[in-house]
Amino acid sequence: MRIFRPMMLLLAVAVALSLALTGFASPPVPSSLAQYAAGTVKILPLERAFPLDEPLELSELRARDRVRHARILLGGGGRQSSVGGVVDFPVQGSSDPYLVGLYFTKVKLGSPPTEFNVQIDTGSDILWVTCSSCTNCPHSSGLGIDLHFFDAPGSMTAGSVTCSDPICSSVFQTTAAQCSENNQCGYSFRYGDGSGTSGYYMTDTFHFDAILGESLVANSSAPIVFGCSTYQSGDLTKSDKAVDGIFGFGKGKLSVVSQLSSRGITPPVFSHCLKGDGSGGGVFVLGEILVPGIVYSPLVLSQPHYNLNLLSIGVNGQMLPIDAAVFETSNTRGTIVDTGTTLTYLVKEAYDPFLNAISDSVSQLVTPIISHGEQCYLVSTSISDMFPTVSFNFAGGASMMLRPQDYLFHYGFYDGASMWCIGFEKAPEEQTILGDLVLKDKVFVYDLARQRIGWTNYDCSMSVNVSVTSGKDIVNSGQPCLNISTRDILLRFFFSMLLALFLCIFFSLT
């Protein structure tokens, strides 16, 4: 036995070093866009809500935004706490208003699981899907997707939310709680254009693909509260843009973001980077995208939505003559960041000075024209060479710099010239709403733990690093393998050396 001891000692050291270098793992598991070394990843592919070859008129787009803004005004709702893994939403779509950049993703609910196509919405809180008992609900969709209905009796894990449940009586609820004859907690959304949905709250299993550690892939799940729609009206009944429901990503306590983070399944931070070119796409993750140059502005406290303090607007470095009081936040005023709104809406007191400043700065370079009631310009060369940069200046010293393509959209051609139109609208209410047109080509981080939003310009076709613990435990979104931190490598080496020492002692005693 003693003859083989040196060989065994060498073998022990070799094994330990091998483990240190490989991280105790088999070859890394490819990810969709992001993986987390010590947590879980839920992968939910997003698809366009409207085909690229079916553009809508701007009036239809404004009508859709009005529906969304009515939803935004409803408020926030239900439960909260800790930190865990990354949820990744690969994005498809475009910010071009004539390609209609609406986004939806797939979720699986129930046992056995049923897949639903639900629209992503950062302006509301509740995830709701269509119930099998729904009346006035569409049964087909012009989006080329199959519609599904949630069958509560058919799910072995479905449960009701009773009228006595704290969720039903929560003062944070976004909807009017109603109590049915069978003791079910009901809800009702009513939107500005007269459309709406009503139903009752359910609990059931939310299914997702998970990566646990570096090489273990598993089907995972978590119980959540969601709405089961039994009635829909207005635009929600139209088949041309019908989906199975709405996936609320607001800051209310009943949003899926809050429900998952309260149990440590996901971190209390999410980020997105929306591509602005013709092909669109991007990334949307529950986690913190880490790129250089992010500036932060504090969220307005005690507001149910993602409100920021907009202080001023500059054009070509010159501040516009706008009273800062028009941007102050109240129950009906303020500035909201909303990925679900396509255009950007400025209060009247800001819209008129902005439009005048843009027109004055290019009066000698372009030909102004009114098209379908919109201010447009006939341009003979690149808009970047003619139109000024714009700055939105927020509390905390954070400025959002806008290129011409961030406030103009291409409408087509007229008399051989390219026609570009202002993508800002006069807000019908007293709220300024920043939509996809200005949010594109930027990383946005919604840091709910620190109550702030950050952003920086970024090429959203590139991969991004994502963290779930404020800079630690970095993962790579857009690459096929993990980006392990130096700290992790040192820890592995330390424990591997301990293992080598243990094996040396063991063999020396045998």
CATH of the domain at 207: 2.40.70.10
Point out the residues of the chain with pLDDT beneath 50: 1-52, 63, 66-84, 171-174, 192, 211-217, 470-473, 478-495
Residue 427 DSSP class: -
For residue 506, what pLDDT is reported?
A: 56
Query: Residue 166 belongs to what domain range?
Result: 84-266
Say how far apart CA 258 and CA 264 lie, in whole Å: 10
Q: Does residue 433 contact residue 338 with C-beta atoms inside 8 Å?
A: yes
Annotated catalytic residue 385: no
187 assigned to some structural domain: yes
Alpha carbon distance 265, 453 (integer Å) = 21
Same structural domain, 337 and 423? yes
Let me know if residue 44 belongs to a domain.
no
Q: Are 453 and 297 in contact (CB under 8 A)?
A: yes
Predicted pLDDT of residue 58: 61
pLDDT of residue 122: 80
Q: Which of 251, 266, 281 is the last residue of a domain?
A: 266
Tell me whether residue 244 is in a domain: yes
Please check whether residues 315 and 261 belong to one and the same domain: no
Q: Are residues 213 and 262 in the same domain?
A: yes
- Structural domain count of the chain: 2
Question: Quick one: 248 and 377 in the same domain?
Answer: no
Same domain, 254 and 295: no
Calpha distance 172→332 (Å, rounded): 17
Check whether residue 261 and residue 321 sit in a common domain: no
Helix axes 486-509, 5-22, angle to 10 degrees: 160
Catalytic residue among 65, 338, 406, 473: 338
Cis before 112? omega within 30: yes
In a domain, 486, yes or no: no
Asked if 104 and 208 sit in the same domain, the reply is: yes
Is-catalytic flag, 473?
no
- The whole-number pLDDT of residue 356 equals 95
Nearest to 483 by CA among 35, 29, 39, 85: 35
Whether residue 503 is contained in a domain is answered as no
Check residue 209 and give its pLDDT: 62
- Of 453, 468, 483, the residue at which a domain comes to its end is 468
Q: Residue 208: what pLDDT?
A: 72
Q: 487 in a domain, yes or no?
A: no
**Claim to verify: residue 230 and residue 367 sit in the same structural domain:** no
Task: Let me know whether 208 and 309 are in one domain.
Answer: no
> 33 in a domain, yes or no?
no
Residues 250 and 307 in one domain: no
Are residues 209 and 172 part of one domain?
yes
121, 406, 436, 447: the catalytic one is: 121
- The separation between the first and the last C-alpha atoms of the chain, rounded to the nearest angstrom, is 8
> Residues 54-100: pLDDT tens digits?
555 665 555 455 444 444 433 333 333 333 466 677 765 556 666 55
| The predicted structure's pLDDT at residue 85 | 60
200 and 307 part of one domain: no
Residue 13 lies in a domain: no
